[in-house]
Every structure is written in structure tokens, then in C-alpha cells.
Amino acid sequence: MDFCLFCLSFLLFFNFPTLHALPPNIVLILADDYGFHDIGYHNNGFIKTPNLDGLASAGVKLENYYVQPICTPTRSQLMSGKYQIHTGLQHGIIRPAQPNCLPLNDPTLADKLSDAGYETHVIGKWHLGFYKRPCWPTNRGFKSFFGYLNGGEDYYTHNLALQFISQRWHGLDFRDNLEPAANYSGIYSTHVFAQRAQQVIEQHDQQKPLFLYLPFQAVHSPLEVPEKYIEPYKSIVDKNRRIYAGMTTCLDEAVGNITGSLKKTGLWNNTVLIFSTDNGGQVIAGGNNWPLRGWKGSLWEGGIHGVGFVSSPLLPDDVQGTINRELIHVSDWYPTLVEGIAGWTLKGTKLDGYNVWQTISQGISSPRTELLHNIDPLGAPLQPKPPLTLEPPIPSCNFTFPSKFNVSTRAAIRYKDWKLITGNPGLGYWIPPPESGLQPVIPVVPEGKCVWLFNIKDDPYEVYDLSDEQGNVVKDLLDKLYEYQQGAVPVHYPDQDPRANPALHNNVWDSWE
């Protein structure tokens, strides 16, 4: 009886949308490799992002917001609501020829929002695997897909070329749903994606709520943008920085065009817009994370402390225009969107994310006090060499501590204000933006060092390592890491498969199983 009463109230609440206003539309914009320093409101407007700044200052800026250090990991947590230790994607990205994808057994964020009645579209970069069709976005909860499957490519030709052992592989990676779309060659991807997003918005059936996921190619390398966007930055001497600034302004213009369409169609007044980077900026490709330490790929704050904000006319007046300093993580969007915004159920879904909608919309404390940044038993992925004279230190770990956690393992965890890092965290320089005229600061790392402890609230730039003074905190956090590790699934990082060669698929990147 009780059960059926529950069913009834459940059905009444969720299945008769005509009795209720539609749940909000959700537009989730993910910029690629967008540095912490590189949004107007973090750099005094040096890089011009008027549309993003306007949306952020009318919304809630997330200033204690975390993502993962690289592409696939962030996207996997966004789509699954789970830490990488629970999907097997702990190590690195999914490489073009790797037969790997986000595990198929659990519903994605898009599956859940589809169940909740949303029209779901993804426009841009997928990077969650494509070696067989079940991995493709249109089989992971999206009604439509327009974009590319790999992690990066040329912005104009939409071709991805790479060296595979002794072979040169190249192929088109651009799709309109399942079909290769060769006729966008020569058109810059930020324009293509913005235009398609505007089209989806304009053609949207307003009887249904919209979920539009926009993982832009910008501002990832290669450094390419139409010349006119570089014009305002002629005075930047550093070439990479100059082009990157132009790419950023173009992305900003795209966001302006998209919000323009939302307003024109009347959708905006029932829309929540979320903007996030996928990881820290890539310093050798124009990005910058100053004053944070480290960069893309590292477990230092520069790799994972992301730029992000939420903007919506639905936010109460008293949070509009505020800065939120509660701990929020990219894995939190799944439950926040499904339960917090869409009002749908998460029953039966096992997640690592928290519903932080009240934290964002009402400013209450975050339910998240702990954050596993990652445990990667395979160690540091290869990092690009910085244009600097010294290589990152590779610790030959000689730390001993009464914990079962092996501290040579690359890992990091946050608990309240504490952050513990073990193993090789990646490059830990403080790198100011080239326009500042300041020189990078290269820390002296003692031989054999592989454990660091910081109080991130007091020391957001990770200057004062407290691991010697705070032995109890170190031990507690190592024990927590050990516990997480006990619940981890094995890393799935298969060998690359020569059958992925686009030459075998009409010079198009396609599934091969």
C-alpha cells in the first residue's frame, strides 16, 4: 500500500507536466583547455570576454569549483556522475585508436534527462570513446549529435592527423548524427557549433524542456582563429598568447549569439546556463592559470581548479551577482541537473556527485566536504615539455608513513580545506601570463619528495607544504585514499588498435568494432 501511495505521488509529480510548469531548459557550455586566468573577470578584462563576464556577473561565480586535469576524465565524470576510480578511466585520455569508452552499463546524464522528458542535443567534442557504435553520443542519451568524436583536430578542415608508429594517419572527424559531414571544411568550428546551437534553439519544440550540451573545441590547440579576432590583441608580443586571446574572444562571441537566440525565442526566461572549463589552461598553447600553481594535466590547482559559473533568470535575486565559495566538483552536475534542476529521480543510480542546486541557488553549505581528485595507479601521463629550461621533477619516492596507501601512487584528495597530493603530481611551476612581464617561479623539490599537504583556503596557490607539521592530517588522508583504492575498479587502458586507421574507413574516423 505504502509503495503504491509513493507511486501515485511520484506519477502525479513527475508525469503530468501539464499540471506544472516545464522544468527549466539546461544549456551546459564546456570550454576546452580554458585557463583559470583567461576569463575577463579573472584578468581585469585583458582578454575580452564581455558576454561571459556579463552572464557571470548576473549569475553565480563558482570560485571553489573543481574539474579533472584533462579532457576525457572531466567529460567522463560529467556524463556519469562518478569518479574515475569507478569507471576504469583513471589514466589519461581515450586515445584515437584505443578500444575504450565510458562504461555502457550505467545511464548517462543525457539518459536521465531524456527520461525526464528533455530533448537532448550535443554539439561539439565527444571524447568519451567511439570504437563501437554503442559508445556514440546518440546511443548515450542524446537525440542528436553534431561534432567530432576525438579530442582535438584542425578547426577548419575538421581533420585529425597523427603519427601511429611508422604510419601517418589522417581522417575527417566531423559528424552530423551518424553521417560524416565533409561540407563544413573551411568553416571555423566555433562558428559552426554556435550556428548549429542557434538552429537547435530556434527549432526547439517549446512543449518540451531542452538540454543542450555544448562542449566547444575552443580554446584547445591547434592555435587557429580567423584573423579579425586577433586584431584587438595586436599588442600581445607572445604569438601563442595572441592567437589564444583571439580564440577566446571568438568563443565569447559564440556564447553571446547562443544566449541571443535563447532570448529571441523566449526560452531564456526558463533556462539555466552553466559554463565550465574542462581542465586548466595549456601553458604551451597560450592558456594560463595564474596565480594558481601548475597547469593542464597536473594535480596542482592550475590543473583542476576550474573557471565556472551559473547564470539564469530563475536564480533568486539575492544570489544573482554573487560569488559562491562552496566546494563544487564537475561530478556534481549529474545529480544537480537531474534532481536539482529537472526535478527527476536519481533512485537506483549510484553516484559520487552531490546535488548542489541549493548551494548554488540559495547559497547554503555544500553537501560536499570531500573530493577525490584521482588515484591513478599507472602514474603520470606523458606531459608536454614546457618552454622552460628545467624538466618537471619526477620524484623517486622515499617517504615512509604508517599507512597502507602507497605514496608513490599518483593521487590527490581534498577534505574540507586540506589537500593531499602523492606520487608525481605533474609540473608544479607558477607561470605568470606572458603579458605580465613576470618570470615563472620554479620550486625547489627535495630529492625523493612525493607527499604534499596544503591548506587550500589559507594557501590557494600551494606555497606552504604542511606535510611535516601536520602528520595526523597526512595519515588520515592517506587512510582515506587507501579506502577509496579498495573500492576502485581496475584501470581500463587498452592497447591501441591498428584497425582504427581512417584509411580503412574511407578516410573518416569511425568505429572499428
Ligand X SMILES: *[C@@H]1O[C@H](CO)[C@@H](O)[C@H](O)[C@H]1NC(C)=O
Catalytic residue numbers, as ranges? 71, 127
Residue 184 within binding range of ligand X, rule CB under 6 A: yes
Residue nearest to ligand X according to CB distances in the complex: 266
The interface with ligand X within residues 231-260 (CB under 6 A) comprises 250, 253-254, 257
Cell numbers at residue 241, please?
598568447
By CB under 6 A, name the one of 143, 191, 263, 449 that touches ligand X: 191
Smallest separation (angstroms) from ligand X to the CB of 191: 4
Q: What distance in Å separates the CA atoms of residue 435 and residue 225, rounded to the nearest whole number?
A: 20
CB 293 within 8 A of CB 302: yes
In terms of CB distance, is 200 or 250 closer to ligand X?
A: 250
Contacts 24+ apart (CB under 8 A), 91-95: 91/376, 91/377, 91/378, 91/381, 91/491, 91/493, 92/378, 92/381, 92/493, 93/127, 93/151, 93/381, 94/127, 94/128, 94/129, 94/151, 95/496
Smallest separation (angstroms) from ligand X to the CB of 253: 4
Smallest separation (angstroms) from ligand X to the CB of 181: 6
In terms of CB distance, is 316 or 348 closer to ligand X?
A: 316
In terms of CB distance, is 228 or 385 closer to ligand X?
A: 228
DSSP state of 338: I
CB 77 within 8 A of CB 106: no
Letters for 262-281 (x = contact with ligand X by CB under 6 A, - = none) are ----x--x------------
HSE-CB for 23 with a 13 A CA cutoff: 24
In terms of CB distance, is 136 or 184 closer to ligand X?
A: 184
Distance, CA of 506 to chain centre: 31
The interface with ligand X within residues 193-232 (CB under 6 A) comprises 194
Residue 62 within binding range of ligand X, rule CB under 6 A: no
Smallest separation (angstroms) from ligand X to the CB of 184: 5
In terms of CB distance, is 183 or 203 closer to ligand X?
A: 183
Q: 375: burial class by Cβ within 10 Å (0-12, 13-18, 19+)?
A: buried
Residue 146 within binding range of ligand X, rule CB under 6 A: no
HSE-CB for 94 with a 13 A CA cutoff: 28
The interface with ligand X within residues 336-395 (CB under 6 A) comprises none
Smallest separation (angstroms) from ligand X to the CB of 12: 23
Q: How many residues bind ligand X (CB under 6 A)?
A: 12
Residue 360 Ramachandran class (φ > 0 left, ψ -120 to 50 alpha, else beta): alpha
Q: Point out which residues bind ligand X (CB under 6 A).
A: 181, 183-184, 190-191, 194, 250, 253-254, 257, 266, 269
